[in-house]
Structure 1
Amino acid sequence: MRGFDRQTTDRARLCMPVTMDDGIWGLELEDVWISAKRKKSEELLSSHPDVYTLLGKEVKRHALEVVLKQADKALIKLVCHVYKLQDNPLEYVDIIQDLLNKHLYELAAIVVMNLKLHGNYSIELIAVPLYLFDHMQLLEEFLEGEPEQQRDIVKYLDALHNKPSIEHLKKHVNIKLVCKERLYEKAIAKAASKLLKQYNLPLELCPNIHYSRSRNALRYLIHKRNAEPDYPEATWREMICEAISSFPRLRRDLLYDLMTLQNYDTALSFALKLGYADRWWPRDLLHHRSTCEPEKLEELRRAWDFTNDVPDYSGKFLQLSLNLQDVSMVDSPSGLKECIRVITNYNIVGIDAEWKPTIGLTPSRLALVQLAVWDCVFMLDMPKLMVELADSDWDKLYSDVLSTHRILKLGYGIAEDLRLLAESVKRPNAKVNRVVDLHNFTQKLQREYPRVIRPVYEKRNFKGLAELTYSLLGLPLNKSEQCSDWEKRPLRPSQTLYAALDAYCLLQIYEVLVKRGEAENVDIRALLEVGQQSMDGSQPQGYKPRPYRRYGRKRTS
């Protein structure tokens, strides 16, 4: 085609005769693709409005068939767009059916997506095979913008989430083609949970998975109490109530599980607290109640009163050096305004966050954000503030505290806390400046200045921030309140102390590091300035979701 200008050449290639060799044709089309990427196919074709009149049905079909042989997703999309195959999508249904007959579900899904033919295919024909053959990323693309299919596939996974259904499916599919890991109940539940969250679907679509996860959480909590006698009673009871809240039958399961372990008094305490009608009580528990004196029953009812729950851990765990009165719950616009006013008088703030553990399929959300300065700690009641505050209030928090370069922000694993905050207040691109993650910073000190970071006592079996406080401050944090109901109000005194200390201890660590640095002629403040970062609400750097693998890493052969 020497002598023709580039546009004329591209126009001719679009109308390539069907007799041309497929391989050569594919290379020519790829050349057009490169040109289209550089020049935009819409501009190219708009300069030749008559070009589509030259594209007959056979040319279009051949174009689609050739790129399907190359199995290039981007090229298939380009052909569907450039040749306007979506104008008459039903003309290619036989090609899609042929792909399905050959079990080429990926290619079929790509064509259906580009031709907008989702409504012509039930989930059993494309969406389910994509899941079974472990093409989750393509499945998510296939479901995008298709609410009916989103709901149907989630309901399908929920129905599949039991052994009889899985065994039935195995008998009706070619098990050699299926990714076996996708048939594990845990993998099914994980996929359904991800789709629920991604497409903001109601939990009611997955009653089986929700119940199964809640039941497993209940078993775990009962086991944890028996395995760890020091586990706080208040925390345990809170989480038990949360685990059984979605399903009435779990309440009966709880009573039987406790009675099996001979915990009759605990079972009776729950039955009294939850107000069960006698007809729901196990017979043995009714008998146990009849043997209890009125004083005993009153004692079991009082077991739920944790208003004065302030355990004394002095000498065993790190204690908050502030009074409880110095810890303020911020739950109103005026409270946030005062919080910002006070914090701006300081040049350093410790930041931490808490959220309720996920039980069942209930999504976790940020419950508390703690901001600690030397003389007080503010705790942001996130569920309430999300309702009470205007956008301008959140903007003020970011501009005056989080984004300002005047205040140094300390955290431990802080990237995730800031991401959750930004996600909650719908500010994914809001910058938080002068941030230091003490986890990363102390690891660097360990490598470069080991004398500064040397432990007070010999290392013991603590992890995370508890290990760091033990190493530098001589006492570990008590983490027993970590898995408690952080959305329940008011917080118990022990919860308040725990949350406040999690943020305040960051200031104590900073103070100790500065003093140790001075003793070793190491300028810690200068190192902190070098190590500071700016963070936004995006996924923390280095974050990589790991797929569930029951038997280790997936093999490629």
Structure 2
Amino acid sequence: MSYRGIPAGYEDDEDWCLSDMVQKITVVPDITTAAGLNNENFDRNLSTDVNNWFESYKEQWNSYKRTPAAQHNLKVMLMRDPDPLLLALKLFANCPGCNNLKNKNLALFILETICDLHTQHPEISANCSDNTRMVAFNFVKTCGMVPLYKAVMSTYELKKICERLVPKIKELITQGHFKDAAHWTINLQITHLFSIFDIIFPLILQDKASLAEEYLNVAKDLQLPTVQFLDSLLDKQKTVLEHCDEILMKYEYKDVKHNVLSYRPMSKLVTRLAKKYKIETHLTPNLNFTKACSYMHYLWHKYQDGGMSCDAWRELVRDAASTRLLQMDLVTNVASYGDYEEAQYWLNYFNIPLEDLPSDMRKNFQWHITAEKTEDDKVLLNTSNESTNSTNSGGAINKSKRSNSATNNLYLTLNLPIESVIIIDNGAKFLEMLDYLESQLLIAFDSEWKPTVCNENVISLLQMATMDRVYLLDCLSTQLNDELWLQLGRRVFNNLEILKIGFSLHQDLRMLHKSLPLQLNLNTKTCYLDLREMWRRLKYLQIVKFPYDSGFNTGDSLCALTEICLGKKLDKSNQCSNWANRPLRHDQIVYAALDAHCLLQVYQVLSEMLLRLGLDVDQVVDEVTTGKTGYLFRMKRVISEQNDGCSTVFSPKTNLPKVKAVNAQIENNCTINVKFIADSMLYGLSKELRKLGIDCLEIIRDNLGPYIDIAKRENRYILTRDSRYNLFTEMLPRAQCLQIPNDSSVEQVLNILRLLDIKIYDCNLFTRCLNCNSNEFILALRHEIQMMRYGQALDEAKNACERNVWPYEKTFQLLNANKDILKSKATYRGRPIKLNRIKSHILRSKEHFYICDNCGICTWDGAHSIHGSVMEVILFNNSETASAAGF
């Protein structure tokens, strides 16, 4: 038996199969075959002189690759030929790798060079024939390089043979090259010749939605049909995949990402395209149905959780359930949660016959109705004992009402008579309001809008409150013209003499600017006070104790702020309601008035707290409105000194233990003694602190016990926020826990430096590993890194470096790399040295490298940077030190 062709040693191996070896042989087609017009072969033969030159040129290319000289020599040769474009294609076809273009490929270099030459000398295309154009297209049609497509199309003027290229592009589609076909049709501007199922839908199936969008940006006539077709796939009678089955079989799409053919990604795509191309909502019925269903389900859960009143719930649902399908979905959803009484209400309201419901649900309804009648009969029999029988139906209702009444006592109430709440819906009332508001120095404002599913939100009501009045401006009133709104903007909102306070002002101002013709001057922020920002700063500095702060309040909402300042929450059951309804319900009017007026009450409490501490309220307000920092930090230090070094000021009634602040001063050797433990949610903060040489551990495990022990043992500050702050204060003194606001890591660092008066000097910078917090490093010179990385060092580098690290001493432990380190490529602690992080250009330009002895990370001077605002603080400290030393 012959074993010819089988590698030695495999003759008796039963697993060896000749067919396996045959399958690994790839036949690369000749690109010149059928490359010209009418599928004629392309003649790539070169003349003797050109061939000799090209052989020499290829040798030079293998040695030097891309150089200006190589491109110049190629351009000179091309310009000598009467048809440079044709010669470039011949050279291209004679290059190795012309079938597989890559960035360092000679074939690609030739095409790029001829395209660059054409931009300099457009006249070289004068002799270009249609056959040459077709060859150029066939050579690059599936290379996948979009910039090259554009360059070749321009250089070889492919639009001149556009009609001949259409069949070629259809061949690409048949072969499954949808991405390439899309780019060619876009560049040639022939998108109108192809349908949705030729290019757009196949791209979506391949999860190339971004390219499909790029295609639709050009194919404007296909935008609406595409969105409507994709919306048809969202019909919930079948799955998206089932809707596509027939199409997939008809067009025989091969490369399909089935994760795309599911409801969620498809609905997201339809939403994005409909918004981008401004498709009217009635043209996407299935998407709108889904949104409306989700919206009503959200409202139902909010109502069930007690975050919404019954009136508000029913108002919004009446408006949202606009079709019979939505009404049926509403009833089905409510009944599925067992609330047949509410479901029965909607059956009656929408006149839905019981027979239209599914059979199993219809039976449940019938059983519930029967049970309800039986219960009613029992109630009638016990009417004589109604006053004493607490278990009957009437007693239960009365108990529920008493319970609700008790619950309402927990909520903040409007401390103004209802006559002081004035609805502004005509011009006369509006002008009278303007005269009054213009004379005020302090105004609170808020806004309300109806939640919508498919349309943009528009403000329906604007509340303007003073201490003794609240104006409710009907933004939907036709009697309030643009001139009146312009006067409100000019005389009140843009008036620098009136301080306007709000909560999360950015959102309200953005909505006002979008919805009303106020012509707001948004650059003038000094007359707008955001109570949320003021609260955030006071919490961060911990210089005040809020009147009703139990230490367990979570969140940063207005509801939480009113609770710690006024002792009661806001009842938000009418927040999500139909604010476009007219007339407004009484409880809506009360809610809207209270939402604005409570801001003034909170501001009054905060002002009194600041005054009791001896702080200037105007300076605090100016600091918050302008975004400056300094005054509160200075006062924080003054108050801390007055309270025996306690970093947090507590109310006299508070019996919490006081812990002396961690010493954050700098010794003569510039060592920073303050230490931190940063919560994992404060991403990036520990890294920024370590850049400054500050010892900062990071919480990386859920078990907080070991970190608490470290904080107690080493007197470390805990840096955290939100509910975790309350958790840490249960186990550590509050003075040792800092609440960090949701700022950038740079702002957080600046606030910490100011709060604890930490001085940072040049000798502290980059003296801790950003990865593991260690301050022990190994100094390695350039040639030593080269020896570890490449096995040998360059001769010119061996004597170029000296072990002179810094012109001054650094505050870290620095060891030298010895022979054992170079041989083992590991630190003194046995950690592998991570050399791959050092790029070749860094290795050529840097002389000293620092290896963390604890984790093996390599760094160098300039590997990391410090933000400019932080550097200003450091430079200021250094200048102070120099002045004190007499320099």
Q: How does the TM-score come out when normalised to structure 2?
A: 0.47
The one-letter amino acid of 1:169's match is C
User: Matched residues in 1 for 2:150 and 2:176: separation?
Assistant: 20
2:197 to 112, 116, 124: 124
2:607 counterpart residue number? 514
After the TM superposition, which residues 135-534 of structure 1 pair with which residues of structure 2 at under 5 Å, given as runs? 135-144=208-217, 146-161=219-234, 162=236, 163-167=238-242, 169=244, 172=248, 178-222=256-300, 224-225=302-303, 227-228=304-305, 231-245=308-322, 247-255=323-331, 265-274=341-350, 315-332=409-426, 336-359=430-453, 361-384=454-477, 389-390=481-482, 393-425=484-516, 431=522, 433-434=524-525, 435-451=528-544, 456-460=549-553, 464-532=557-625
- TM-score, L = length of structure 1: 0.71
Alpha-carbon contact 1:368-1:486 (below 8 Å) kept? yes
Displacement of 1:177: 5.1
Secondary structure of 1:532's counterpart equals: helix
CA distance in structure 1 between the partners assigned to 2:212 and 2:518 by the alignment: 28
List per-residue Cα deviations over 1:133-157 (Å, max 9, x = no partner). Answer: 4444443333236554222222222
C-alpha RMSD of the superposition: 4.8
Decide whether aligned partners of structure 1 residues 129 and 473 sit closer, same or farther in structure 2, where only a CA change above 3 A counts: farther
Matched residue type, 2:326: L
CA deviation profile, 1:502-536 (whole Å, cap 9, x unmatched): 333333333332322222344453344334369xx
CA deviation map 1:272-329 (0-9, x unaligned)? 5456689979796799699799xx9xxxxxxxxxxxxx98976411223333333344
Q: Which SS does the other structure have where 1:457 is aligned?
A: coil
User: What is the DSSP-based 3-state SS (H/G/I as helix, E as strand, rest coil) of the residue aligned with 2:446?
Assistant: strand
Amino acid in structure 2 at the alignment position of 1:344: E
Change in Cα spacing, 1:507 to 1:188, as seen in structure 2 (3 Å) is farther
Correspondence list, 1:39-188, <5 A: 53=126, 57=130, 71=144, 73=146, 89-94=162-167, 96-97=169-170, 99-101=172-174, 103-144=176-217, 146-161=219-234, 162=236, 163-167=238-242, 169=244, 172=248, 178-188=256-266
Distance 1:153 1:400, change over 3 A: farther
| Residues 471, 275 of structure 1: alpha-carbon distance in 2 compared, 3 angstrom cutoff | same
% identical aligned pairs: 25
TM-aligned CA deviation for residue 234 of structure 1: 0.5
Deviates further, 251-260 or 501-510 = 251-260
* Larger Rg belongs to: 2
Deviations 1:107-141 (A, max 9, x none): 44344334332322222233223434444444333
User: Deviations for 1:211-249, whole angstroms, at most 9, x for unmatched residues?
Assistant: 233334444544554x4367411112112212322x124
The offset of 1:487, in angstroms, is: 1.5
Give the match's secondary structure for 2:460. Answer: strand
Q: What is the number of residues matched between the two proteins?
A: 499
User: Which ranges in structure 2 are unaligned for 5 or more consecutive residues?
Assistant: 1-67, 93-106, 381-403, 628-742, 745-887
- 1:368 aligned partner, one-letter code: L
- Distance, in Å, in 1 between the alignment partners of 2:422 and 2:148 is 59
| SS state at 2:464 partner | strand
Contact 1:402 1:433 in 2 (8 A): no
Alignment partners' CA distance in 2, 1:371 and 1:72: 59
Q: Counterpart of 1:433 in 2: which secondary structure?
A: coil
Q: Are the structure 2 counterparts of residues 510 and 182 from structure 1 closer, same or farther at C-alpha, using a change threshold of 3 Å?
A: farther
- Structure 2 distance, partners of 1:232, 1:278, is 27
**Which position in structure 1 is the counterpart of 2:883?**
none
1:403–1:432 contact (8 Å) kept in structure 2: no
Q: Does the 8 Å contact 2:424/2:474 carry over to 1?
A: yes
Query: Any conservation in 2 of the 1:446–1:453 contact (CA below 8 Å)?
Result: no
Paired residues of 1:452 and 1:517 also in contact (CA < 8 A): no
Whole-Å separation in 1 of the counterparts to 2:330 and 2:273 = 30
> What is the CA-CA distance between 1:270 and the residue it aligns to?
3.9
- Say if 1:90 and 1:312 are closer, same or farther in 2 by CA, change over 3 A: farther
Distance 1:531 1:78 in 2: 55
CA distance in 2, matches of 1:107, 1:478: 59
**Which amino acid is 2:481 matched to?**
L
Decide whether the 8 Å contact of 2:445 with 2:462 is kept in 1.
yes
- Asked whether the equivalents of residues 354 and 367 of structure 1 are also in contact (C-alpha less than 8 Å), the reply is yes
- 1:132 and 1:182 in contact (8 A); partners too: yes
AA at the equivalent of 1:423: K
SS at match of 1:353: strand
CA contact (8 A) 1:372 1:504 kept: yes
Instruction: Give 1:156's aligned amino acid.
Output: F
Counterpart-to-counterpart distance in 2, 1:524 and 1:12: 79
User: What is the CA–CA distance in structure 2 between the aligned matches of 1:496 and 1:31, rounded to whole Å?
Assistant: 70
CA distance in 2, matches of 1:477, 1:407: 26
Shift of 1:66: 7.6
